[in-house]
Amino acid sequence: MSNLITILRAAHCRSVHHFFVIDALPEIGTDAGQRLASILLRHYARYLAGAKDPDTRFRDYHNHVVHVGDGYWGSAPAAAMKWYQRLQSALSHEQWDQAAYAAGVISHYFTDPLQPMHTGQAEREAVVHRPLEWSVTRSYQSLYEQWKRSDVEIRFQLSNQPGWLAEAVLHGARMAYRSYDLLLDEYDLEEGAQDPPSGLTVECRRVFSDLIGIAITGWARIIERAAEEAEAERGCPLPQQNLTIPCLLATIQIPHRWIVRRIEDKQEQTAVAAILTEFQRTGTVQENLPEECSVVRRSVVAHDRGCRKTSPNNRSATALTLISQPQDDGSPEVNREVEAEQGGAAITVEVHSGRLTNEQKSLPIRPILDFARIRLVRTDPVVDAPSIGPKTAARFQAIGIQTVGNLLDANPDIVAPRLGTRWIDATRVSDWQAQALLMCQIPGLLARDVKLLVGSGYRTAEKIVAADAEAMNQAISRFVLTSDGRSALRGSQVPSTADMQQWIRAAKCIVQSVA
């Protein structure tokens, strides 16, 4: 295994995502995990392709981020969980190449939120995002070695609860977000455009060496868990793969891979130079804004009325103080703090020294938001609101209600008569407003869900928080017997009690963050 890993690192890894998935394999500590690792290496081409395809093929950039300061906006946890199910399905059917590809994709959605620029949204971030990533890519080996040399030990502990993978993604994002502002201030854009490693100051290098260690260690733990669950499902061990032929093929492909890597480096250098030139000329980046930043910028909106905004100063966490080597007088010197989360998943970062200890404070942890994104925002066109089709939207537009925000701000008693149709009265407009507001506030809710909730009497997030899932299920079951209820379902299944429990948990996060 080690020979193939050496060859892949030397010639086949062209991005940090490639390095992450390869460098995690030697960190695997279980027999089941090593058996799965042999499958991933046997199909290394698919494994590496999966690790980059979310960028190069899917281009689903809202799935690459978790904006911690904006109510955990972003769908990386949901995307990781979806592909994890595909991984387990492929392993159960012995579709080893598909399993390797799915594993690579999961690694991308797990490690991308560990890049601090994927955890927030600021004007300067759009300028430095791509140059900073290029600097890290070109500095990866030295950053990796810095982590391996350090006396810091990272222990990435996965939760044993359902949704453990989504929790791991969210915990990693919280760790990374702590360095978001620091990197925006510290990164030297001009130096980085000329010589990528030079853009990283000492503090930047410290941040990224730690995060690289977290990404590698965390991905190793995820592989171990995936192997354990796959073998439990199969009732027998995964097969150990012979790596002789893959090692030979990887060796033969070395010249071609080197050529591809040089071409990609040149293209990235040109793109970063264009960003710097535009920024120096105009003070902003518009023409050369990376597609990733452009897509996310269009998707993220200002969250007024405290809809989803969570102040990073109000986050509850466990702060682990790292202690460096003691001074000559025997008193320890505080080196730096690294944030971890406790309660389910946890990332523990420790100084590895016999005489040293960690000081750890346990604080209550804020409930985790639903793993899907907010599906409606105030700037969306009014036709996107639940229950409003094109014809009704045209009526609203004719009286100046163009967006969901316009609808939410309208007075139903004034609007309804102006729509010019008997069947739309003030009560119905009020129902539509309640549906739209819930969909704007609570992550993961579909149009069907909010129609059922409002029709059953759960018109506000506060009412949902106070609800019992069983009682909610009974209320919705009664509502779907009506014509409005059948219309809301449109032939689909009634949501389960588990779905309703998730709605209640997500609503609690919203109410607590506003409070």
What range defines the domain where residue 461 resides? 382-514
Q: What share of the chain is helix, strand, coil (3-state, %, to 5)?
A: 65, 5, 30
Residue 331 lies in a domain: no
271 and 392 co-located in one domain: no
Asked if 351 and 322 touch (Cβ cutoff 8 Å), the reply is yes
Task: Say if residue 76 is in the same domain as residue 217.
Answer: yes
71 and 188, same domain (yes or no): yes
Task: Look at residue 290 and tell me if it is in a domain.
Answer: no
Residue 368 within a domain: no
339 SS3 class: strand
Residue 168 lies in a domain: no
Packing angle of the helix pair 76-92, 202-234 (nearest 10 deg): 40
**Main-chain phi, psi angles of 320, to 5 degrees:** -100, 120
* Residue-by-residue pLDDT tens, the chain, 515 positions: 578 888 888 878 888 999 999 999 999 999 999 999 999 999 999 999 999 999 888 888 788 899 887 778 888 998 999 999 999 999 999 999 999 999 999 999 999 999 999 998 877 777 888 889 989 999 999 999 999 988 777 778 888 888 899 989 998 999 899 899 899 889 998 888 888 899 999 999 999 999 999 999 999 999 999 999 999 999 999 999 988 877 777 776 665 555 545 545 566 556 656 655 665 567 665 666 555 555 445 444 433 333 333 333 333 332 222 323 333 333 333 333 333 333 345 555 443 333 323 332 232 223 333 334 577 888 888 988 998 888 888 899 989 999 999 999 999 999 999 998 888 999 999 999 999 999 988 887 888 999 999 999 999 999 999 999 999 999 999 998 888 888 888 767 788 888 899 899 888 877 665 54
C-alpha angle with apex 319: 317 to 322, nearest 5 degrees? 160
Q: How far apart are CA 80 and CA 169, in angstroms?
A: 8
Q: 248, 55 in Cβ contact below 8 A?
A: no
Indicate whether 372 belongs to any domain: no
Q: Which of 248, 266, 282 is the last residue of a domain?
A: 282
Neighbours of 202 (CB within 10 A): 8
Q: Is residue 276 within 8 Å of residue 199, measured between CB atoms?
A: no
Together in a domain, 264 and 389: no
Instruction: Please give the full DSSP string across 368-420, using - where no structure is assigned.
Output: PPPSSPP---TTSBGGGSTT--HHHHHHHHHTT--BHHHHHHS-HHHHHHHT-
Same domain, 252 and 387: no
Both structure tokens of 133: 């990533």
Q: How is residue 503 written in tokens?
A: 């709605």
Does residue 271 sit in the same domain as residue 402?
A: no
Q: Whole-angstrom distance between the N-terminal and C-terminal Cα of the chain?
A: 53
Q: Of the candidates 282, 306, 335, which is a domain's last residue?
A: 282
- Look at residue 108 and tell me if it is in a domain: yes
State whether 267 and 410 are in the same domain. no
What's the domain count of the chain? 2
Q: What is the pTM of this model?
A: 0.57
Within-domain flag for 299: no
387 and 278, same structural domain? Answer: no
241 and 124 part of one domain: yes
- What size, in residues, is the chain? 515
Same domain, 264 and 391: no
Last residue of a domain, one of 223, 247, 282: 282
Residue 420 belongs to a domain: yes
